[in-house]
Amino acid sequence: MNAASLTTSGVDGLAAWIAPERTAVLVIDMQVDFASPEGVLGGYGVDMSVVEPALAAAKRLVSDARSAGAPVIFVGLFTTPENDSPAWNERLRRRGGNPETDAALCRAGTPGASFYGPRPVEGELVIEKARYSGFLGTDLDARLKGLGVDTLVVAGLTTECCVDSTVRDAFNLDYHVFVVTDACAAYEADIHAASLKVMELNTAILTDGSAVAAAWKRAG
């Protein structure tokens, strides 16, 4: 099935499911080190042009959410030497890296951890995490429950890693999860597609930014 076909029986059905009073938008790891040519991965030669369409789509999604009155929550990776666990560092070593000399991703307090593309405005919630999932070791679940949210509309980087990890945990915590396919990206197209297919099969409904915008417009 395609992305739109699973979202509901058309715009009216989607509008009910993602009504602003029950829904939050999660923007995951759209940060300099993951998305900008000036970040750590860009410095290693990763082609950041592949994520530019997702950044643009996420900016539109965030603007639409603000207009509709749905809360927008920014989830980011903020690492420190203290939360680089032995398992975290050993995995890097086994892949040929060196945690003592390699540049760390999204170090708290550095430009690399800054949000890139869509950015939070005053009053919007920012969740700082130290692992892939936005729920692990954070108060995201409690914050969402405090807002009366039971449904998530998700955008972010990268599709197969922090987006997938957060979506899995959200589903296991009994949230209704909608992944905005054009507002997510991986650095390789086949990985992005495969991850979306797995999420569609197991944990999420796939949609796109235009469908979400139309649903919120209808709800308004």
Domain spans of the chain, in order of start? 3-219
Nearby residues of 87 by Cβ (< 8 Å), 6 or more positions away: none
pLDDT at position 137 is 97
pLDDT tops 50 at residue 132 = yes
Query: Bridge partners of 77?
Result: 129
Burial 127-151 (b: 16+ CB within 10 A, else e): bbbbbbbbbeebebeeebeebebeb
Per-residue confidence band for 9, with pLDDT thresholds at 50, 70 and 90: low
Q: How far apart are CA 191 and CA 168, in angstroms?
A: 17
Tell me the average pLDDT across 80-92: 91
The rounded mean pLDDT for the chain is 94
The token pair at 3 is: 């992305």
pLDDT digits (tens, 9 = 90+) for 173-208: 999 999 999 999 999 999 999 999 999 999 999 999
Would the pTM count as exceeding 0.85? yes
pLDDT at position 134 is 98
pLDDT digits (tens, 9 = 90+) for 211-220: 999 999 988 7
Per-residue confidence band for 7, with pLDDT thresholds at 50, 70 and 90: very low
Burial 57-96 (b: 16+ CB within 10 A, else e): bbbbbbebbeebebbbbbbbbbbeeeeeeeeeeeeeeeee
**Assigned CATH for 3-219:** 3.40.50.850
pLDDT tops 70 at residue 2 = no
Q: What percent of the chain has pLDDT over 90?
A: 86
Question: Count of CB atoms within 10 A of residue 101's CB?
Answer: 6
pLDDT at position 6 is 43
Nearest Cα neighbor of 59 from 119, 129, 148 is 119
pLDDT digits (tens, 9 = 90+) for 31-70: 999 999 999 999 999 999 999 999 999 999 999 999 999 9
Give the residue numbers annotated as catalytic, written as ranges.
Answer: 29, 129, 162
pLDDT at position 5 is 43
Tell me the average pLDDT across 135-143: 98
